[in-house]
């Protein structure tokens, strides 16, 4: 019998969400809207798609290991090339960070109700994640995080804004936390929804801490606002002295050359990102107002998704299934450790209007 490391027995296998086509067939629907994965409802930039088509002509060649993309990002962020790492989505960088930084006996700290890839990545390398509870308003609690730091803590992982609650740690509170984090601890800010956050909370959302704090790494992705989820391209920004170790653990030709070409082109199409973010902002303002007026419990999300707490596990499952049968695919949050809640991605203006009408018409069924 082939022996398997014991720590891998604690790691679950990721199950992808149900596709729109599967739901159409299963429920006999003609119209289905996928609002489960926080994707861009407008798709990818035409600039990016044109670049990808052109790059396909070189499919028989190995790529440059993301060097061209790193150079473009260095210019875009005015950050040293040596302080930028690219990989197959920011999710891959979370795993890479754990492989690179965690030594035997060291731990990584985060909060319950955060992004699930953190715990998976930590367990995959044979370590154990430490968690604190979310604070009020479904937010990460900096005081709880600070109090939970131990001599074995090596990494603090903070999705900011948080997925799945959409909430964030403000600039002043994050500075408060960083003042209490030892220099030997790496603070990872997963900023997958950065483009939405800076538009929705321009005065209070923290920016650029990777450039001023040598132990801070910021993660970004092309999967959300840029609409390149299938291309699997993400990156990390940090101090070159720290990032050099991540560069050593990159595989030679990742990310793929076609995805890198699309990402470089996407950076130049600021209009596409602005349109995407503006639509999400309109949808958020409209939908949150309607939901709260109707009595639903929501968070203060600054992303492209809304978080709804039904305060009961069975009611949350019923809510999810009711949406599903109506052609709206949402995301139940049992896997995130919040079984009483559901996450719904914002779509186009028309889709958001349809969603609002449906949710407000079912208030008596789900609001307690």
Per-residue pLDDT tens over the stretch 250-286: 988 999 999 999 999 999 999 999 999 999 999 999 9
pLDDT reported for residue 3:
84
- State residue 297's pLDDT score: 97
What's the rounded mean pLDDT across residues 97-124?
95
Q: What is the mean pLDDT of residues 297-315?
A: 97
How many whole angstroms separate alpha carbon 165 and alpha carbon 205? 16
Question: Residue 7: pLDDT band by 50, 70, 90 thresholds?
Answer: confident
- DSSP state, 88? S
Query: Average model confidence (pLDDT) for the chain?
Result: 95
The pLDDT of residue 288 is above 90: yes
Domain 6-43+271-363 = CATH 3.90.1150.10: yes
- Does the pLDDT of residue 368 top 80, yes or no? no
Q: pLDDT grade, residue 17 (50/70/90)?
A: confident
What pLDDT does residue 9 have? 84
Give the mean pLDDT of 48-77.
96
CATH class of 58-268: alpha beta
Q: Which pLDDT belongs to residue 50?
A: 98
Per-residue model confidence (pLDDT) at position 20: 86
Q: Average pLDDT, stretch 169-198?
A: 98
pLDDT tens digits, residue range 79-109? 999 999 999 999 999 999 999 999 999 999 9
What is the per-residue pLDDT for 12?
Answer: 76
Q: What is the DSSP letter of 102?
A: P
* CA dist., res. 141 & res. 130, Å (int): 14
Q: How far apart are CA 53 and CA 213, in angstroms?
A: 39
- Return the axis-axis angle of helices 46-56 and 257-268, rounded to nearest 10°: 150
Residue found under tokens 């909370």 = 201
Share of the chain above pLDDT 90, in %: 88
**For residue 213, which of 246, 238, 248, 249 has the smallest C-alpha distance?**
238
The pLDDT of residue 18 is 75
Backbone dihedral region for residue 364 (phi beyond 0: left; psi -120 to 50: alpha; all else: beta) = alpha
pLDDT at 277: 99
Rounded Cα distance between 78 and 247, Å, is: 19
Flag whether pLDDT at 13 surpasses 90: no
Of 363, 312, 367, residue with least CA distance to 338: 312
* In the chain, where the domains are located: 6-43+271-363, 58-268
């Amino acid at each position: 019998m082939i022996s398997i490391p014991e720590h891998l027995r604690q790691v679950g296998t990721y199950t992808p969400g149900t596709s729109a086509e599967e739901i159409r067939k299963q429920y006999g629907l003609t119209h289905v809207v996928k609002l489960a994965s926080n994707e861009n409802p407008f798709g990818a930039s035409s600039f990016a798609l044109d670049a990808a088509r052109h790059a396909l002509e070189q499919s028989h060649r190995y790529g440059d290991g993301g060097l061209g993309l790193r150079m473009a990002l260095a210019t875009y962020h005015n950050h040293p090339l040596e302080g930028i790492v690219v990989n197959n989505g920011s999710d891959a960088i979370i795993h890479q960070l754990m492989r690179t930084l965690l030594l035997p006996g060291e731990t990584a700290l985060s909060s319950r109700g955060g992004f699930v890839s953190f715990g998976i990545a930590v367990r995959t390398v044979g370590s154990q994640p430490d968690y604190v509870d979310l604070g009020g308003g479904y937010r990460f609690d900096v005081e709880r995080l600070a109090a939970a730091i131990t001599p074995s803590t090596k990494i603090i992982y903070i999705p900011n804004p948080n997925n799945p609650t959409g909430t964030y740690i403000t600039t002043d509170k994050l500075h408060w936390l960083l003042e209490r984090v030892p220099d030997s601890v790496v603070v990872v800010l997963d900023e997958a929804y950065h483009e939405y956050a800076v538009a929705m909370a321009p005065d209070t959302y923290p920016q650029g801490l990777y450039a001023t704090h040598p132990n801070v790494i910021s993660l970004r992705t092309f999967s959300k606002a840029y609409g390149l989820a299938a291309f699997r391209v993400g990156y990390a920004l940090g101090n070159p002295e720290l990032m050099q170790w991540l560069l050593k653990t990159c595989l030679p030709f990742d990310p793929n050359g076609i995805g890198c070409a699309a990402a470089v082109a996407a950076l130049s199409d600021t209009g596409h990102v602005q349109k995407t973010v503006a639509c999400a902002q309109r949808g958020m303002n409209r939908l949150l107002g309607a939901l709260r007026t109707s009595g639903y419990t929501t968070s203060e999300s600054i992303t492209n998704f809304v978080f709804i707490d039904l305060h009961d596990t069975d009611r949350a499952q019923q809510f999810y299934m009711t949406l599903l049968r109506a052609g709206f695919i949402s995301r139940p949050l049992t896997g995130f450790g919040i079984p009483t809640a559901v996450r719904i991605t914002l779509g186009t203006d028309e889709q958001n209007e349809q969603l609002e009408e449906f949710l407000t018409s079912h208030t008596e069924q789900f609001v307690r």
